[in-house]
Amino acid sequence: MNALFPAGFRWGSATAAYQIEGAAAEDGRTPSIWDTFSRTPGNVRNGDTGDIAADHYHRMREDVALMKEVGLTDYRFSLSWPRIQPTGRGPAVQKGLDFYRALADELLEAGIRPVATLYHWDLPQELEDAGGWPERATAERFAEYTSLAAEALGDRIATWTTLNEPWCAAFLGYGSGVHAPGRTDGPAALRAAHHLNLAHGLAARVLRGALPAGTEISLTLNVHAIRALSDSPEDRDAARRIDAVGNRIFLDPVFHGRLPDDLVADTAALTDWSFVHDGDLETISAPIDSLGVNYYSPAVVAAGTSESPSPWPGAADRVRFVPAPGPRTAMDWPVDPEGLYELLVRLRDELPGVPLLITENGAAYDDYADPEGEVHDPERVAYLDAHLAAAHRAIAAGADVRGYFLWSLLDNFEWAYGYGKRFGIVHVDFASQRRTPKDSARWYAEVIARGGLLR
CA 235 to chain centre: 28
Residues annotated as catalytic (active site), given as ranges: 165, 360
